[in-house]
A and B are shown apart, each in its own frame.
Chain A
Amino acid sequence: MSHLFDFLRKYHYLLLFIVLEYVSLSLLIRFNSFQGSVWHTGANTVVAGIDRWYLDLWSYVHLRAVNRDLTAQNAQLMLENDRLREAMMTLKRDSTDVERAMARNLVDYEMIPAKVISNSKGTKNNYLVLDRGSAHGVKPEMGVVGGGGVVGVVYLVSDAYSLVIPVTNQKSSISCRIQGQRYFGYLQWDGKSMRRATVDDIPRHAQVEKDFVIETSGYSSVFPPGIFVGKIEKVNNSADGQSYKLDIALGTDFSTLREVNVIATPYKAAIDSLFSKISE
């Protein structure tokens, strides 16, 4: 202990130097935009790299559990497949024109598969980081979907990574409708639960019930119409009493989200160029 004090007494100026240099460099990075931008982008690449490395390790360690889950899921799906095939044999029901048209439309969408490498949970404004960036064709404002339905919208893109504003972010606002009806509203998140969101502005003459399906409306060019968002859990009155406010159980479980697809919307550029022609 006395050695420690001796050391401190002898080299206390080094400690002071480190403290003052830290203050200076903090000022430098905080108030000088160029140095700040270099630091932040550099640091963020490092952070994303570490996150990715950790994810790889995590996936490897949990391979056994994942394998077991997959086997169970596979067995369940095969059973379900059998049952459905049987049901189809008896019903001989043909799919409707709309469904077939939608399936045909979805063929044209180019999907960019991506992994979630960083996922904030439980905070007011959550963000996701994907391991695909502009080098793989991801651009800002592309839609992101997962196995459970809508995930979010790409916000920022770097070469190898992209930042997504998920549904569970209060800035997120995705246009959606009730399946089979034309009434649409905006999906908002109230910050309370990772599994719930709300849809506002549904007119009172709409016929809504619990367990009705909510899907994307296609009114924005981000998502094609008809992508699953969630199910109605409860029908409430909105604050002004003029419309319904729906509580939605989200299809996507954000706390276990790993594999997602980015929708490279082919007609977004075409729509944008049309809008720019209007403004000319």
Chain B
Amino acid sequence: MALLTPHFSLLTLLLPPMSPSLFSYIAWFIVLTAGQVIVCNHIHLLGYAMPMIYLYFIMILPSTIARWALLVLAFVLGFVVDLFSSTPGMASSALLLTALLRPVVLTVFAPTERGDGALVPSVRTMEWGCFTRYTVGITLLHTTTFYLIETFSFFHLADLLLNIFTSTLLTTLLILSFEMLRNKR
């Protein structure tokens, strides 16, 4: 029914901040994948930085999600991104490792004063400081794995580090702005 209301917009659809619906997750999946393959894959800022906005999808899933489900979702997401960037296996293998370690990263950066309940990562539940650190952690992990797999060697260490650093910076900025948009009322 929400689809038929006159005030319907993509943003309202993506916005349930405390308990995002399944539908909003599907919408994020499509928006992020499309944004990645249509826009972000063609951005090579200064020849080094490539934003990887699809990470946002893996980040905002609730902490209660089963680890196998997280892995499967990461594989599917990576596979679709790879399919459209004609780099089969590259994003998916890096994303799988990120998904495997996401619960660990989340535990490290989660606010200490929260209870044992489910945590849906966002600035509402974590505040900006925690969420930014969480974003940097996940992004750094993913870009590092991604570029290691892409270069497949340590020969050009300076280039590799520059790639990782600039991409982490750009991706973090984009993800934080997504987060700002999502929670803007």
Contacts and interface: CB of A to CB of B under 8 A. Distances in A.
Answer yes or no: do A and B interact.
yes
Nearest to A34: B152
A21 B97 CA distance: 8
Given A16-B68, A16-B71, A38-B153, A21 B88 contact: no
Contact of B89 (A12, A29, A34, A38): A29
A12 B89 CA distance: 22
Interface string A22-49: 0111111111101100100000000000
Interface of B is mostly: helix
A28 B68 contact: no
A35 B92 contact: no
A16 B93 CA distance: 13
B96 A24 contact: yes
A20 interface: yes
Given A21-B97, A35-B152, A16 B92 contact: no
B93 A25 contact: yes
B96 A28 contact: no
B121 interface: no
Contact of B93 (A28, A31, A34, A38): A28
Interface in A140-196: none
A188 B1 CA distance: 76
A132 B37 CA distance: 48
Interface string A226-265: 0000000000000000000000000000000000000000
B89 A25 contact: yes
Interface residues of A, number: 20
Interface string B48-72: 0000000000000000001110111
B18 interface: no
Residues of A contacting B: mostly: helix
B20 to A, nearest CB: 23
A32 B87 contact: yes
B68 A13 contact: yes
A26 B90 CA distance: 10
B152 A20 contact: no
B67 A28 contact: no
B54 to A, nearest CB: 15
Interface of B: 66-68, 70-72, 75, 78, 82, 87-90, 92-93, 96-97, 100, 149, 152-153
A5 interface: no
Given A13-B67, A28-B149, A38-B153, A20 B75 contact: yes
Contacts of B90: 28, 32
A17 interface: yes
B88 to A, nearest CB: 4
Interface of A: 12-14, 16-17, 20-21, 23-32, 34-35, 38
Contacts, number: 56
9 contacts: A21-B93, A24-B93, A25-B93, A27-B82, A27-B92, A28-B89, A28-B93, A30-B88, A35-B149
A23 B93 CA distance: 8
A200 to B, nearest CB: 45
A12 B71 CA distance: 11
Contact of B88 (A14, A16, A17, A31): A31
A12 B87 contact: no
B152 A38 contact: yes
B152 A24 contact: no
Given A13-B67, A34-B152, A20 B89 contact: no
Contact of B71 (A13, A30, A34): A13
A242 to B, nearest CB: 52
Contacts of B68: 12-13, 16
Contacts of A14: 100
Contacts of B78: 24
A168 to B, nearest CB: 36
Nearest to B82: A27
A14 B68 CA distance: 8
A70 to B, nearest CB: 47
B151 to A, nearest CB: 9
Contacts of A23: 75, 89
Contacts of B97: 21
A31 B89 contact: yes
